[in-house]
Amino acid sequence: MNKREQKLNRKEQEGKKKGKGVTEFPIGKLAVVLAVIPVLIMIGIVARHGFSEEQIMQERREFMTGSGYEEMHIPEEKIEDMVILGKVWGYIKYYHPVVTHGGYNWDYELFRILPEYLEVESRDERNALLLEWVSGLGEFQQREGEEPTPENLHFDHDLSWIDESGFSQELISELRGIERAMRRDNTYYMSLHQNLFSLSIKNENPYVFRAHPDAGYRLLTLYRFWNKVEYFFPYGYLIDEEWDDVLREFVPKLTGADVHQEYKLATLELIARAQDTQTDLVGEDTQIENYWGRNYAPLEVTFIEGQAVVTGYHDETRGEETGVNIGDIITKVDGTPVDEMIEERSKYIPASNDASKLREIAEGLLRSRDNELEIEYLSGENIETTTIECFSQQQMRITDRARKDLPPLEMINDEIAYIYMGSLRPEMVNEVMEDIMETEGLIIDLRSFSRDVIDGMGSYLMPEVGEFAKISHADITMPGRYIMEHSLDVGSENADYYQGNVVILVNEYTQGQGELTAMALRMAPRATVVGSTTAGAPVRPTPFELPGNIEIGISGRGIYHPDGTGVQQVGIIPDIEVLPTIEGIRTGLDEGLEKALELIQE
């Protein structure tokens, strides 16, 4: 009988003395069976081995109302131990076959070990407790011999921390033995979409029973997200700080976030550290919205030439009533210089690059918790100050600059067509493309949200099939490893392809599908990409849930140019860079569009 089973038996006896059923059941003896059967079958087998359904359900409900830690203030000298616990917990979650097959509620196992772990007073005690925990999880098969390096390896897992964390040799041996375990490529927590090679994240309970999770569940938020990035994030190698330091920093931040809004902000700050525009909150979060402010000034703002420039009005009448003109430059909001606001807000903005970060900051710059705000602005050569009334979204429609209200196709003249990709749906492609096949030039405006129309448009624009992107995907059997072995193609054999010049317009609103589309359509024989840096986030996010009913997206596969160079953070590099200017805004000139017309007419 292992130590874990001894503890469980003691706990069962204590429960009987108190008139209560056991809250856990031993699982180690069944590990070989668990490696090949689903969790539900497991529960049935356990019940047949002497554990009642009531005992099983009691174990599953043990932490449904809380982790047992309403508060958890970690002293400075204990933070490193909590870092170690988070790394071991995540490693076991994705590497140990019994756990990866759903043999334990691994969230609950964190809560079960916490009371003893928080009391350890030395490294030796810590290592002994971790060894007891890990070694009691059950048996598994190991690979024979050395694991061969796969072909097309993009980057490999790094488990050097196991040897560098001050562990005993027994614990190192136990953890390294788990590395050599046989694992499936479809686990309780993770699988791959076979056609798209993107991740499917499964069985991550959002624990909706409490909007504000207690300290134990807040620690789970940190461990769950940190380890997802550590093992299943295709761009972890691009993060420009030590990922371990992020874990170290957020142990006290999240466990100490006792106020609801503080927890949401700390979580947002954490996910922003992945430096990925797609790794963001999904939908509207009440606490975050309250923090930014639910009321909006009627002015649209864009950062141009390093300045916060008024580029339009959400509501033309209300905007004009402010006395602030299009082209004026905002310098302060409620007495705070714009540069300081950028610095303060940046930590809460998940972004792959500066272009997408400034885009998001600009859109929220003139939000307020009050019904008005004071702005200082430069109009011509004069510094002006005014108080502006702010409105809720129920009072004033807020313009979505990624989805302008434009038709999918416009003819600039008889020879030049303009397609606005924010309005083009897949079922429209054939009709639109048939209408423009005889024109001399085509402008494809990707400065917007975009749907997947690559195959449809590519069949008209390309004379043959061509590779436009490579994909890296996770190796679920060896977490932390990414393989680059698949590609994306565009076009078809078509002697009657479009013969005119093609100009593709891009900017910071070109993101995700839009960036993929730009990569594909620039393969057209006479295509030129014009504009400014794109968002640098070329994949659709994979849904992922955190405690407190927080849903986020996270990039699940890597996208690269055919030569292997990256798109993440870098964005699509235009063939011709054309940046908007303050003068262009004041005169109503779209410099990118003007350059496109010039290129077609040359």
Percent of the chain with pLDDT over 90: 80
**Sheet containing strand 501-506, strands side by side:** 409-411, 416-420, 441-445, 501-506, 527-531, 576-577
Mean pLDDT, rounded, for 366-395? 96
**517-551 b/e with 16+ CB inside 10 Å = b?**
bbbbbbbbeebbbbbbbbbbbbbbbbebbbbbebe
- 435 or 24, which is more confident? 435
Residue 601 CA to chain centroid, in angstroms?
42
pLDDT at 56 (0 to 100): 56
**DSSP states of 285-348 as a string?**
-HHHHHHH-SEE-SEEEEEETTEEEEEEESSHHHHHHTTPPTT-EEEEETTEEHHHHHHHHHTT
Mean pLDDT is lowest, of 195-209, 293-307, 322-336, 542-556, for 195-209
| Token pair belonging to 89 | 């917990």
Neighbours of 103 (CB within 10 A): 23
CA end-to-end distance (rounded Å), the chain: 83
- 90 or 28, which is more confident? 90
440: buried, middle or exposed (CB in 10 Å: 19+, 13-18, 0-12)? Answer: middle
What angle, 0 to 180 degrees and rounded to 10, lies between the N-to-C axes of helices 123-135 and 106-117? 150
Q: Kindly report, as residue ranges, where domains of CATH 2.30.42.10 are found in the chain.
A: 289-389
CA dihedral (48, 54, 59, 60) in degrees, to 10, reads 100
Single pTM value for the model = 0.88
* pLDDT tens per residue, range 214-223: 999 999 999 9
For residue 194, pLDDT over 80 is answered with no
Query: Which residues 6+ apart lie within 8 Å of 153 measured at CB?
Result: 481, 482, 483, 484
For residue 40, how many C-alpha atoms fall within 13 Å in the half-sphere facing its CB?
Answer: 0
Q: Give CA–CA dist 568/585, Å, rounded.
A: 29
| Token pair belonging to 203 | 């069985």
Rg of the chain over all Cα atoms, to the nearest angstrom: 28
Mean pLDDT, rounded, for 135-158? 86
pLDDT class of 16 with cuts at 50, 70, 90: very low
For residue 35, pLDDT over 80 is answered with no
For residue 504, pLDDT over 80 is answered with yes
| Token pair belonging to 405 | 């209200």
pLDDT at 58 (0 to 100): 65
Q: Give CA–CA dist 507/509, Å, rounded.
A: 5
Residue 399 CA to chain centroid, in angstroms?
24
What length does the chain have?
602
Mean pLDDT, rounded, for 449-474? 95
pLDDT class of 98 with cuts at 50, 70, 90: very high
DSSP 281: B
CATH tag, 289-389: 2.30.42.10
* pLDDT tens per residue, range 43-76: 443 443 344 556 556 667 788 889 999 999 899 9
pLDDT class of 193 with cuts at 50, 70, 90: confident
- Nearest to 12, CA basis, from 104, 108, 20, 4: 20
For residue 19, pLDDT over 50 is answered with no
pLDDT class of 144 with cuts at 50, 70, 90: confident
For all residues of the chain together, what is the average pLDDT?
A: 89
By DSSP bridging, strand 441-445 and strand 501-506 are parallel
- 147 or 124, which is more confident? 124
pLDDT class of 176 with cuts at 50, 70, 90: very high
pLDDT class of 283 with cuts at 50, 70, 90: confident
Q: Give CA–CA dist 540/150, Å, rounded.
A: 26
Q: Give CA–CA dist 409/421, Å, rounded.
A: 9
SS3 string of 525-565? CCEEEEECCCCCCCCCEEEEEECCCEEEEEECCEEECCCCC
Residue with tokens 């004069």: 382
pLDDT class of 195 with cuts at 50, 70, 90: low
